Structure 1
């Protein structure tokens, strides 16, 4: 099968890496990103002039590279990052999409947004402070989101005289913690983002370190975001019936392939109804094709005239996900208003939105020792916890461990449309981490309201 990358004539040297930065307040995330952009020659002249002007207005002689990502006026005035800042740059080896996420505890939820599609997370630690609670929180979020690669960037090494023992102690503590969470790969790099040590160029001040710089690692880390190798899933976004003289009986189901590939003649099942049919045709950009793959947007035509509507999911008949109304998941609560047991919500999964009720909140994760606080009753902003949700209509969910696209969902306030929680279906945090000592109590068997 020819992939879109091969069709475009691109080679492996132009692969795309999505990565996010995270860390505690003032650990230097924005400065690191700015240094990456500046030293990799990815900053336009007018951008650099604007940063220099803003730096002078704040009484700084040298340009503050953090301003390359701190784009909001409130961020520049306070000297902090508030919102997730996305930047795009490229080197001869690879293209990059980076998300610079906030460090304040009240903005931890923003990291969920920034890291939800990332293949790598850069977690910064101030060499003077070591691993703090927010560091552990970000490591836990990265583990829950199944980010396959984590880089520990021990920053501000210039302020601890580039001492190797300081770096070694921090790297040992963080590696042990992240490994207990189930993070598959951890790379520790000592840096000074302000001075540029080991960011793009190797540091002359740390000859005891023989590993890659941050950019070298970003350029060479293996990434596998080939969605064509995943379980084939096609959420229906729109039903097309042009009813023209040329195509009087045309009925197509349009959307973006979430994962896998579909081929003409393949048997598919429509979920949640369970009806089966055969793919009669696939239209891509108005042209009929024999096969299509993620993340292409296409229109699929079926051989049988069956009921299919927005929110339905097409999957291979021999590889269809289970359908359920009982959703057990780990969520990161992102809203200022709490999430409580008995609360009525909307659950949005791919293109389907259904009414639901929070049946139980069995536990909340305690980041200090990775234990579970049982039966908290509610989750507040930035809490990570287990929930049991009953939906009014059945859903076809994959386990998040199998598919980040079709294993994730949102809980929404039906009153005003506010996003309440970002959820990951399937395995509990105990199963993800393998290090949680206290198991959450099982949900009770009380009757559902639906």
Structure 2
């Protein structure tokens, strides 16, 4: 069949803007979606065309309806797996399916009930150290909180505080370098020649050694910890009844750290800023939180935090942490009126989908009521903060519970205020906020 692609932007037009696109591709995407419609293409030299879409029908086709014909690109697999191993986020095919089936039960609601108790006490501890009555950049605070929640939920601190902080430093250093490698492929030779790749691979080894020590300690312990590591150690493959090796466990744990702490930190930062900036929303959140008895269990609190959940969901609509993903066609295919060649890469912009006027009324406004029980149906099919289809984020409920409990604990204890300025973002592997200040004042109620 003849190949038929959407409107295609010549590569030379991109070349002139390459440095600004590298820093922040969203204005370039926005401009071209407005000009060419919900799907357009670019034509790199010596390579197949690349498509970019914010069309819900095409996105569901790629991620759900015909997902077997699409794989993640080398950007997601090769670059990431070099540093964080072959875990759920970076693996594919039969191995991915086998791991997903093994790990999925650890994230079922009944298992999460044990984790939310760890989660709640960790959040409480983290919030005790907030800088009070002074304006501070909120992201580092949320980042620290989210890292501790993941670390405690995974290990319940089998290791000492110093070791966990070292692991945090390494993971953040590796994330920064991965972004540089992905964004500046033309500097690959320099990264190798200058020893930067070697230096970061040494950090990879150190991080794997730290986690391996924790796993060995746990294997030799007869104590129950009710954390994720316990669940992963007990998990058995259906076909032969074996468990994961240390290497496999390390791969999955590194992925949980990378995928589970920065994304949540980003989402929490945006959520608190948006609540603080909208007085009517703020008042509704307080009314709901203050009506809840602090003595009930964390799961009972989560069940009552309906409006808080709507706020978190609306925040992730406007600022989805996983703001973009991609798929590569394994065979020729047709969708949305296009005929694409095997090997075509399609970028999926959740950020633009979530702000697409075709699907959302007043798409740039923060309106948590969109996700109320009576309105939620209207968002189905257009809202994918955790992706969609078989590869949807395995930790979506974990992340939602963590964010809801963080909002509850924070606003039960503190009044928050922010600058009503425009939000600045850095679209890296995840969508990061830039300098979003908050002021925390102890509540006297």
| Same-fold call, TM cutoff 0.5 | no
Bucket of the pairwise TM-score, normalised by the shorter protein? under 0.3
**Please, what TM-score do these two structures have when normalized by structure 1?**
0.23
Point out the structure with the larger helix share. Answer: 2
Bigger-Rg structure (1/2) = 1
